[in-house]
């Protein structure tokens, strides 16, 4: 139970140069909204705010004469709380762009508000592929990953290696449903079957009952269409209840590096999952992770935090080129027209439905003996090229896509 700690703003004024009149209120104001204290706080949370500030710093906003301010708030994973903050930010506080917003149900609410107010929303944390499908709009870009990409990456790899029948443990809200549907589609398309699913409430402590139902379904694969603490509890208890020993395999459809950390390699070893970014892939990522860890108590960045960095860089490029941040739809159109490039995500593009296109990676969790340093948790098994990683443009049902 948390009390309403709302919209604490830490203003980081990074500019001395004279403010250009083109920017609303003379400032480019970035609002990082995510779960600051609940089950997704390690996935983005305060580390996400750090990443946004780091992006502003690395972009050299101050030197270029841009006045940029970063504020943050805790949406507590509740759509109503998130909507209130978004309205306050867009209407009263002069926030030009909201970034991050994990928890699909909150993101689905905020993308509507961004459209209504003609502001910008860059989603790094949310997963639902509906955000660039039937709920798409001209003010939103989906940056880091989505349920379709996860399903496609992990689901396809598992079905192709013989995991034909699936049973889902699904978190009972927008994200879980989307992940279950997208994975189910991939499974069926590749010749597998879905034998059943059970919907559990968000933040469930005990999964034994659901695991028993999964066990008696006799499915080869138990797909975990949940996230964060729910995934951790599912995997931990599956080990206890002998799910894997009994011949069934687990598939964590959405896993973050912080989840592997919480499980420990002994329990998590051998799991496959799909990620947009991993800190130990190249020197630039490692350098970023080192700085991140120093500022965040040793934790290493997740793909969501890296995605926040990347999206803020690209946003600043677009508003600087336009010399204005006033018209949200125009800023997003400008962002779509420019190729993306930054040190963490490399080169990419943004599609007309708002999907940021970049490579995804299928990774496997290491055995305890293979881990040589702190947070050395996964090996990259396969790079999924951008063109294959995300849902084909025509299949999403986004109204921005002209047929």
Could you identify the residue written with the tokens 């930054």? 342
Q: Considering the rule CB under 8 A, would residue 67 count as an interface residue with another protein? A: no
Among 112, 118, 237, 371, binds another protein (CB under 8 A): 237
The nearest distance, CB 137 to another protein, in angstroms, is 30
Comparing CB distances to another protein, the nearer of 20 and 367 is 367
Comparing CB distances to another protein, the nearer of 230 and 325 is 230
**Which residues is 100 bridged to in the sheet?**
33, 123
Q: Considering the rule CB under 8 A, would residue 200 count as an interface residue with another protein? A: yes
Comparing CB distances to another protein, the nearer of 300 and 351 is 300
Among 125, 133, 223, 228, binds another protein (CB under 8 A): 228
Q: Considering the rule CB under 8 A, would residue 214 count as an interface residue with another protein? A: no
Q: Considering the rule CB under 8 A, would residue 50 count as an interface residue with another protein? A: no
Q: Are the C-beta atoms of residues 59 and 30 closer than 8 Å to each other?
A: no
Among 246, 270, 374, 385, binds another protein (CB under 8 A): 246
Here the tokens at position 317 are 């490029």
3-state SS record for the chain: CCCCCCCCCCCCCCCCCCCCCCCHHHCEEEEEEECCCCCCCCCCHHHHHHHHHHHHHHHCCCCCCCCEEEEEEECCCCHHHHHHHHHHHHHHHCCCEEEECCCHHHHHHHHHHHHHHCCEEEECCCCCHHHHCCCCCCCEEECCCCHHHHHHHHHHHHHHCCCCEEEEEEECCHHHHHHHHHHHHHHHHCCCEEEEEEEECCCCCCCHHHHHHHHHCCCCEEEEECCHHHHHHHHHHHHHCCCCCCCCEEEECCCCHHHHHHHCHHHHCCCEEEECCCCCCCHHHHHHHHHHHHHCCCCCCCHHHHHHHHHHHHHHHHHHHHCCCCCHHHHHHHHHHCCEEECCCEEEEECCCCEEECCEEEEEECCHHHCCCCCCCEEEEEEECHHHHCCCHHHCCCCCCCC
Q: Considering the rule CB under 8 A, would residue 188 count as an interface residue with another protein? A: no
Write each residue from 288 to 327 as x if it is in contact with another protein (CB under 8 A), else as -, in one continuous string: ---------x-x----------------------------
Among 104, 124, 144, 215, binds another protein (CB under 8 A): 215
Among 4, 16, 21, 201, binds another protein (CB under 8 A): 201
Q: Considering the rule CB under 8 A, would residue 69 count as an interface residue with another protein? A: no
Q: Considering the rule CB under 8 A, would residue 229 count as an interface residue with another protein? A: yes
Comparing CB distances to another protein, the nearer of 39 and 114 is 39
CA distances from 402 to 40, 140, 353, 393, 399 (A): 36, 17, 10, 10, 7
Q: Considering the rule CB under 8 A, would residue 226 count as an interface residue with another protein? A: no
Q: Considering the rule CB under 8 A, would residue 198 count as an interface residue with another protein? A: yes
Could you identify the residue written with the tokens 């293979």? 370
Among 29, 181, 261, 334, binds another protein (CB under 8 A): 261
Among 7, 87, 241, 349, binds another protein (CB under 8 A): 241
Q: Considering the rule CB under 8 A, would residue 206 count as an interface residue with another protein? A: yes
Distance CA 218, CA 166 (A): 9
The nearest distance, CB 295 to another protein, in angstroms, is 13
Q: Considering the rule CB under 8 A, would residue 21 count as an interface residue with another protein? A: no
Q: Considering the rule CB under 8 A, would residue 216 count as an interface residue with another protein? A: yes
Residue range at the interface with another protein (CB under 8 A); choices 23-31, 210-218, 287-295, 335-343: 210-218
Q: Considering the rule CB under 8 A, would residue 10 count as an interface residue with another protein? A: no
Q: Considering the rule CB under 8 A, would residue 40 count as an interface residue with another protein? A: yes
Q: Which residues bind another protein (CB under 8 A)?
A: 1-3, 37-43, 45, 172, 198-201, 203-206, 208-210, 212-213, 215-216, 228-229, 232-233, 236-237, 239-242, 246, 256, 258-259, 261-264, 266-267, 297, 299
């Amino acid at each position: 139970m948390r009390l309403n700690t709302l919209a604490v703003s830490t203003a980081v004024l990074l500019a001395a140069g004279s403010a250009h009149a083109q920017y609303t209120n003379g400032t480019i104001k970035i609002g990082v909204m995510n779960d600051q204290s609940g089950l997704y706080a390690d996935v983005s949370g305060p580390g996400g705010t750090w990443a946004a500030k780091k992006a502003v710093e690395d972009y050299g906003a101050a030197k270029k004469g841009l006045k940029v301010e970063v504020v943050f708030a805790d949406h507590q994973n509740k759509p109503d709380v998130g909507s209130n903050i978004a309205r306050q930010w867009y209407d009263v506080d002069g926030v030009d762009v909201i970034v991050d917003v994990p928890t699909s149900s909150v993101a689905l609410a905020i993308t509507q508000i961004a459209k209504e107010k003609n502001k910008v929303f860059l989603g790094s944390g949310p997963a639902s592929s509906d955000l660039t499908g039937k709920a798409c709009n001209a003010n939103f870009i989906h940056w880091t990953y989505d349920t379709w990409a996860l399903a496609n990456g992990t689901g396809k790899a598992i079905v192709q290696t013989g995991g034909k029948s699936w049973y889902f443990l699904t978190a009972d809200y927008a994200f879980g449903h989307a992940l279950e549907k997208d994975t189910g589609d991939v499974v069926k398309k590749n010749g597998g079957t879905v034998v059943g699913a059970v919907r559990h409430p968000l933040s469930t402590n005990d999964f034994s009952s659901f695991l028993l139902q999964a066990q008696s379904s006799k499915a080869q694969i138990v797909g975990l269409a949940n996230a964060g603490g729910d995934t951790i509890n599912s995997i931990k208890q599956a080990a206890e209840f002998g799910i894997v020993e009994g011949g069934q395999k687990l598939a964590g459809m959405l896993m973050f590096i912080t989840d592997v950390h919480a499980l420990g390699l002994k329990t998590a070893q051998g799991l496959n999952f799909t990620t947009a970014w991993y800190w130990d892939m190249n020197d630039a990522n490692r350098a970023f992770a080192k700085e991140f860890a120093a500022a965040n108590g040793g934790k290493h960045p997740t793909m969501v935090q890296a995605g926040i960095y990347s999206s803020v860089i690209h946003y600043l490029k677009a508003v600087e080129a336009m010399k204005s941040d006033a018209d949200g739809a125009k800023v997003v159109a400008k962002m779509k027209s420019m190729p993306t490039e930054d040190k963490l995500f490399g080169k990419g593009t943004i599609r007309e439905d708002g999907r940021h296109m970049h490579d995804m990676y299928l990774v496997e969790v290491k055995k305890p003996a293979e881990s040589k340093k702190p947070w050395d948790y996964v090996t990259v098994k396969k790079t999924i090229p951008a063109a294959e990683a995300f849902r084909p443009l025509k299949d999403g049902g986004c109204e921005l896509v002209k047929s």
